[in-house]
């Protein structure tokens, strides 16, 4: 594979870099007319072009399978629109809102649940951003603001700092959470200026890293995360369960351990959403539950994420992991241990 110096955004660039075969050109051109394409140099460097099932390539290099759209799939699979009172705001839960100042990413995941939106427009205009901030100011029940998008860390440190200062001035907002892929996609952009921009004087700020495979946590990515954590910003992780990529206990366990070693607490394992053209990535809920059962028996509690489903239609996120307890008719229960052995448990009167 040729060395990549700039972000690859066109089919011909992906072919020239050795990431796509020539025979896929026509199909990928059709795909690129619908969904955004971008592969950063850092991601291209991680791709093992000799492996047709390379976990990095499968996440970022477009595949003709994405042209297969199923009837159950939706352009808005988790119902953002039903909870969006104005551009840039999603208010699904009473005490927290999503603030989406930007609709672009450094690179585009091929399973993205917002793939119909991201990469098509830059983000909120200045007046729209001020309207979104006013909405937060006028709703005292909002305790947490989650910066999402797109990827909010693609903003310049100056623009990011302005948003953080505005949120810092809202008394009822106590927590700011930033969701990002940037430490993996372009770790060099996690600069001291960007880290300073994330700091506030009166809020708890968290950064949630999206990572799906341990190989994403390169030495450069780990160093980028360390810059955030060493500055006093705690980190969480989000992972999407993806067929053929991380849907076995060894692979998922390796990722969760690697995150904990990086001082990043595994937070959510997302069941893949019903986004258009992503059926080849999805597992069944039952497969996810079996996987979580296997993970419980072999990985530290520090490395256990919560397996969740975002219910289609905008009904919210719920845990869907395996159950270990059956309540009995009498005062008591049957509890199953990590080896599948069932035990009687009597509740005190």
Residue of 9, 25, 34, 93 with catalytic role: 93
**Residue where the block lists tokens 């199909």:** 27
The answer to whether 225 is a known catalytic residue is: no
Residue of 112, 151, 181, 282 with catalytic role: 112
Q: How far is it between the farthest Cα atoms of the chain?
A: 72
Residue of 108, 273, 282, 307 with catalytic role: 273
Among 70, 90, 11, 16, CA closest to 317? 90
Structure tokens at 226: 């360390």
Residue of 58, 114, 177, 282 with catalytic role: 114
Residue of 58, 92, 100, 265 with catalytic role: 92
As separate numbers, helices (DSSP H) first and strands (DSSP E) second, the chain gives 11, 12
Structure tokens at 348: 């005190």
The answer to whether 105 is a known catalytic residue is: yes
The answer to whether 92 is a known catalytic residue is: yes
Residue of 24, 34, 96, 199 with catalytic role: 96
Residue of 105, 151, 215, 267 with catalytic role: 105
The answer to whether 114 is a known catalytic residue is: yes
H helices present in the chain, as ranges: 11-16, 25-32, 41-46, 55-60, 126-137, 157-168, 182-185, 192-198, 219-230, 249-261, 285-298
The answer to whether 328 is a known catalytic residue is: no
Q: Are 42 and 3 in contact (CB under 8 A)?
A: no
Among 56, 44, 54, CA closest to 17? 44
Kindly report the length of the chain: 349
Residue of 35, 109, 247, 307 with catalytic role: 109
How many CA atoms lie within 13 Å of 263's alpha carbon, on the beta-carbon side?
17
Active site residues: 92-93, 96, 105, 109, 112, 114, 273, 310, 317
């Amino acid at each position: 594979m040729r060395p990549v110096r700039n972000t690859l955004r066109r089919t011909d660039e992906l072919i020239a870099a050795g990431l796509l075969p020539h025979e896929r050109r026509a199909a990928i051109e059709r795909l690129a007319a619908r969904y955004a394409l971008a592969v950063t140099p850092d991601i291209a460097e991680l791709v093992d072009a000799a492996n047709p099932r390379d976990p990095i390539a499968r996440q970022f290099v477009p595949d003709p399978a994405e042209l297969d759209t199923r009837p159950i799939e939706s352009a808005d699979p988790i119902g953002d629109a039903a909870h969006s009172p104005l551009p840039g705001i999603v208010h699904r839960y009473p005490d927290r809102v999503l603030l989406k100042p930007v609709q672009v990413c450094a690179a585009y995941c091929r399973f993205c649940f917002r793939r119909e939106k991201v990469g098509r427009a830059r983000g909120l205009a200045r007046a729209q951003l001020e309207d979104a901030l006013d909405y937060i100011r006028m709703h005292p029940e909002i305790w947490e603001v989650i910066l999402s998008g797109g990827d909010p860390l693609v903003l310049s440190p100056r623009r990011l700092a302005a948003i953080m200062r505005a949120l810092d001035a809202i008394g009822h907002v106590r927590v700011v959470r930033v969701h990002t892929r940037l430490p993996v996609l372009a770790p060099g952009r996690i600069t001291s200026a960007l880290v300073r921009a994330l700091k506030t004087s009166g809020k708890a700020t968290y950064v949630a890293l999206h990572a799906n495979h341990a190989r994403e946590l390169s030495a450069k990515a780990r160093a980028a995360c360390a810059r955030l954590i060493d500055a006093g910003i705690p980190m969480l992780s989000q992972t999407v369960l993806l067929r053929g990529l991380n849907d076995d206990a060894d692979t998922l366990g390796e990722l969760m351990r690697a995150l904990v070693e990086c001082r990043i607490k595994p937070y959510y394992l997302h069941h893949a959403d019903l986004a258009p053209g992503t059926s080849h990535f999805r597992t069944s809920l039952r497969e996810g539950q079996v996987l979580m059962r296997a993970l419980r028996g072999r990985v530290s509690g520090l490395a256990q994420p919560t397996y969740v489903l975002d219910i289609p239609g905008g009904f919210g996120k719920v845990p869907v992991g395996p159950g270990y307890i059956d309540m009995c008719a009498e005062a008591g229960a049957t509890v199953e241990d990590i080896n599948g052995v069932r035990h009687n448990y009597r509740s005190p009167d």
